[in-house]
Amino acid sequence: MITIRRLRFATKRLSFPAVYLFVFTLCFLFSPSTSAISSTITLTVANNISLNIVATQSGAFSSTDTSTPNVSITTNHATGYTLGILASVNDNSLVNTSDNTKTIPSISNQISPTDYANDSTLNNTYGYMPSKYHSSDNLNYLPTPTDTTSFDILDSTSSANSSTANDYNIAIGARVDDTITPGSYTNTFIISAIANPTTYSITYNQNTTDTVTNMPTNVSDDSTYDETVTLSDTVPARSGLNFGGWCTVQVADDGACTGTTYNPNGTGTDLNWQLDQTASSNVLTLYAMWSTSTSTCTNGSTELYCMVESVSKGTQSVDDLKADLTATNSGVFEYDSSVFGQASDISNSRSIYYFRGILDSNVDSTTSTYGSRGDGLVWQNYVRLGNTCWRIVRTTGSGGVKMIYNGIYGDTFAGSCANATSKAQTRYNNAELKIEYNVSTTSKAGKTYTGIGSGIHASGYTYSNVSDTSTWSTAYSNLFGATGNDTTTNGNSSVIKKYIDDWYTSNLASYTSILETGAGYCNDRTLNTSNNWTTPVADNTLIQPYKSTGSTVYYFGPYVRNVSNTTHPTLTCSRGTVDTYSTTTSDGGNGQLTNPIALLTLDEAVFAGSGVSEVNAGPTYNFNSFLHSKNGFWLMSPSHRTGAPQMFYLGPNGKPEMSTVNYTPYGVRPVISLAPGTEYNSGTGTATNPWIVNAP
């Protein structure tokens, strides 16, 4: 603040002096960082700089204290900071606060305090004097800045000063005479301390003595104001091996990275290196990771199969599938055929991966209080086909992508595949795929599985011409059409199959060319061959009972594998061709599908994280599985028969349940498989931005 008072000469009448208030206001800013290892800058200032001046006829010069610091800065930023001053308006004059018209202009050239005090031609001007100016001592008054976008540099340091502050003094000086209008004058300027660029170097190591082409270019002694550096997305090539990304520690071929990995897929944060702004130098050495994997995926591929493969967390054990779902046993995993049996897919030229659990904010694993559950918006397995939404369940041995229906696009949330009600995970029992109650064996509107009352053939997705009243002992030869006088061999479609086929014709027919028509859907009707809990014997074509506590109960293979003390799901369709449903017979299937669409198996649901009912341990409730629905829906796997045959369905409590095929009503969630090589056109795989696959 500058107060300018006018002195009157003795020849004139004395009066109370008018006060000139000259205010030089600084708005102080500083620029901290927010990186993973961030630096900070602390800037403290005194009050606004002000000065009182008593004007004389010839002109009086005055200045604020030039000896006491009024700006102090400390920082742990390794490369120091740059101190600058910026105008708030492009007119650097001081403006009279009474009428906003009278001004005091800035000096136009720098000048020493002595010369300023003796130069009457500089009457009614002002200037400022920082104690530093471009990192050197400054003893002159300077013109005040007029630039509102670029800072005038006052000082620049090159290292941290965490323990000892750098002190500065910003003084203002003015020369005024009695021709200036009395009043208060002010202007505002901005001072800022900005962190200097952080230095870094990057070395890309090919990690082999073999010839490697297309290596990224090393970076030496570069710098950036940013908190992160984007690594090269160039993918190196080595004959006979696949590039698996970069690791911060050296790793052998086919080895696992024990450091930090960077994957040049060109998306997300896979290539973002967080800098340490408190270090004098950031040096990163990256070692190429090489594998002998048979994967045909390349970095940057938009094939949906490759997107699933790229986030695999490895294999799981049987015990992993029994455990409650947590963050560590959720994710994408590779199917281990040595543990779970050879999958009955078209071929096994590519690894099979399955989604298990959920990575959303769903933490309610003990109750069905849907309001406290996550809304399913995070996990990246959502796919959109036209007006329908799907969630990826697993891949096939041919590189296809199996998906389960997830409702109509925007059904509940506009522009979203998240069909939710009160934050329930998803609402699958939509009207367009809900079987209404009707016990008719032919009507597609029946809320039944096959609509047959008691015959053994009622457990079939399709079934042979056997009387509804046939006993199990007399009908076993005709169940599969493998023996006996059945000439139609599974020729009758179940009620649920008819319904799904009609829905397919109305909603998915235009996508047939990009669906895996040879994908197998297992309706495993193998029965247990022992009085003990054992895995079924492959190729068993005869009905054999499991005798339990004196009564005869017939248990199908899915029950024996998954509802026992030795839970052991498999992607093997135990009876092979007879029970493997597909549209053709040239791929190891039975050719009984009208369209390439069916249902999920119990085994696939268990792999996905659905709970199981163990004989001695009781039910396990896994509300966290991404398959969990507020409403139950049918699975393709038969369970057992005491009176009427029973099929599995996935209940609203998060675990598989059993229901008779002609009574209990449940929803329908069809399953399809995208053909190998199917690519997405846009999206990120989340509920609000699903992978979009367009019709051909």
**Per-residue pLDDT tens digits for 150-165:** 989 999 999 999 999 9
CA-CA distance, 22 to 174, in Å (whole number)? 9
Pick from 231, 265, 291: which residue ends a domain? 291
Instruction: Count the Cβ atoms, other than its own, within 10 Å of residue 79.
Output: 22
Q: Say whether pTM exceeds 0.85.
A: no
Nearest alpha carbon to residue 117 among 59, 51, 68: 59
- What is the domain count for the chain? 3
393 and 513 share one domain: yes
Q: Does 298 map to a domain?
A: no
Q: Does 299 map to a domain?
A: no
Q: Does 108 map to a domain?
A: yes
Q: Does 615 map to a domain?
A: yes
Residue 338 backbone phi and psi in degrees, to 5: -70, -20
Q: Which residue has the higher pLDDT, 481 or 498?
A: 498
The boundaries of the domain holding residue 686 are 304-693
CA atoms within 13 A on the CB side of 174: 34
346 and 245 share one domain: no
Instruction: Count the Cβ atoms, other than its own, within 10 Å of residue 534.
Output: 15
Tens-place pLDDT, residues 42-100: 888 776 888 888 888 899 999 998 888 988 999 999 999 999 988 888 999 998 888 88
503 and 630 share one domain: yes
Nearest alpha carbon to residue 494 among 592, 573, 640, 580: 592
The stretch 576-595 carries a mean pLDDT of 84
Pick from 174, 196, 218: which residue ends a domain? 196
167 and 232 share one domain: no
101 and 233 share one domain: no
pLDDT of residue 285: 96
Tokens of 481: 């059409």
CA-CA distance, 130 to 166, in Å (whole number)? 13
Q: Which of 244-253, 293-302, 566-575, 661-670 shows the highest mean pLDDT?
A: 244-253
Nearest alpha carbon to residue 192 among 150, 143, 135: 150
CA-CA distance, 370 to 419, in Å (whole number)? 13
39 and 152 share one domain: yes
What is the H or E stretch that residue 559 is in?
Answer: helix 557-562
311 and 287 share one domain: no
576 and 630 share one domain: yes
285 and 320 share one domain: no
639 and 614 share one domain: yes
Q: Does 296 map to a domain?
A: no
Tokens of 460: 């079939």
Pick from 262, 291, 320: which residue ends a domain? 291
pLDDT of residue 27: 54
380 and 526 share one domain: yes
Q: Does 297 map to a domain?
A: no
Q: Does 266 map to a domain?
A: yes
Pick from 174-178, 518-522, 600-604, 630-634: least confident: 630-634
Q: Does 219 map to a domain?
A: yes
192 and 237 share one domain: no
pLDDT band (50, 70, 90) for residue 13? very low
Asked if residue 425 has pLDDT above 50, the reply is no
